Amino acid sequence: MKKLTSFFSIFALFLVLFMPQNASAATTYSAGASSPSTIYAYSLNQWSEDGFWDLRNISSIPDTAVVTAAKLNWSICTSCGMTYSTTDVALFIQSGAGDWMDSGFYNYNFGGQPVKQIWFTSFKSSKFNSSGYIQPVLTILWEDSMSAKSGSFMLNESPNGILVDKDSLVEKQEVTLVNLKEE
């Protein structure tokens, strides 16, 4: 038992001294509510206006930091007749690629993307009265192997989903990554 304890102590010391990017958990950054904080849609099954987060100038995040996971918490307008089951929300990066989001759950398909960029969200709903809205809040887990400021045991690979136009998204289960609609 003493040898086993010594082995684990030496292994833990090795991780801290020689592999700092794997010795700590990923850092969590709460980007807060989007700008604007309430995003409206006026037509059923059509993309809403966009809500944005500009993370390009956040000094507490290193320039080389990459995402390990992203999470959107969003609420809907239940008094407008909206339901969670008839509302689909997507998160996008600056290039227009993105993925569907479930409220409150981390999405690992953004792994490897730069944190410091413009992020945006949009939604579609098949049920609301004259208009509907969501109020999204973005949280990002990130790591930076260059500065070794944080690290993670989480999967950190670039997404390999199917890229499609934002307008062609019909069913949530069919798409991993999407492109911004052409306007």
In the prediction, which pLDDT does 29 show?
Answer: 87
Q: What is the mean pLDDT of the chain?
A: 76
**Is the pLDDT reported for residue 116 higher than 50?**
yes
101-111 average pLDDT score: 94
CB proximity list for 32: less than 8 A, separation 6 or greater: 53, 137, 138
Tell me, rounded to whole angstroms, the distance of Cα 181 from its chain centroid: 19
Encoded tokens for 163: 């890229």
In the prediction, which pLDDT does 152 show?
Answer: 29
Q: What is the pLDDT of residues 18-65, one digit of tens each?
A: 443 333 457 888 888 888 999 999 999 999 999 999 999 988 889 999
